[in-house]
Structure formats: C-alpha cells, structure tokens
Amino acid sequence: MLKQALNLIRSGGIFPWTVTLLFYGFVFAVIANAELPALPDQAFALRQRLWENNKQDFRDPNEAFSIFAPYAPPQGSVSFITDVPYNLYSMDIAKTFSAQSYFVPLILNPFPQENHAFVYCSSEAIATTRLRESGYQLRASLGAGKGLAEKTL
C-alpha cells in the first residue's frame, strides 16, 4: 500500500503540475500586489540631487589635475613627476593612474624621459628635490608643489 502511494506521489497523481503552478502563481500575485508603506521624500534625496547634477554635492575625484588642463598639449606625451619615483608596487601609483584617466588621450609618462613634465608633489621642497633628481627645471609654479617643468640638457 505504501509503495502504491509513493508511486502515485512520484507520478504527480495527487498534485498535478497545474495545481502546483496555480499555487505558486497565486503566491506570486499576492506578493506582487502587496501594498508597501509610502516612503518619505527624504529617502530619494540623493537620487534627486544626482539627477539635478548639483556640482556642489558631487565633485570629480580627478578635479585636482584640472590645474594642468590649460597647459596640456592635445596629444603626445608628457612626464608626470610625483613625490616618489615611479614604482609599480608603490601606493603613489594611484595618483599617476588618476591623472592619466583625466588627461586621455594625452599620455603621461611616469618616467622622466619627456621634454616637458607636470609636477604633482605634496610640497615645494619635495618638488624641488624630485626635479633635481630627474633633471628638470621648474618653468611655472602652480602652487604647493605643483607646476610645469622642462628638461634640462
């Protein structure tokens, strides 16, 4: 008797697939039509500010490199000098990658090989030391360790 009951259940005789489909369809319909409490307008304040394109709330993380934009050539390559010499394993590499993403299609060479360079250091003293090490001379200071440099022969 038990064997016959198990065979009946396995064959779908007790609950045919249509009943199962109707049951799950009913559950889905109840969940889909459930009334949710209304959300206050403050819940969507961030989304509204994003749609309004409010520049005061959201800044470009690479905006610091905009000081070089008027001096950047439209194409070619420029050296990019930072606090420490370029090292693939240094945390300072993120600064170089951020600057490169800001200046595309201009190529920023992290090695001091180009005739012109953007200097992006954290202080004037570090910038002076890095320029001396790499063989550049500061042509225009943009303040606080930033500036434009030219290769000295």
pTM of the model: 0.58
Question: What is the torsion angle, in degrees rounded to the nearest 10, for the CA atoms of residue 69, residue 104, residue 102 and residue 99?
Answer: -90
Quote the tokens at residue 52. 């309004």
Residue 104 reports pLDDT greater than 70: yes
pLDDT digits (tens, 9 = 90+) for 44-89: 777 777 777 666 666 666 778 888 888 888 888 898 888 888 888 8
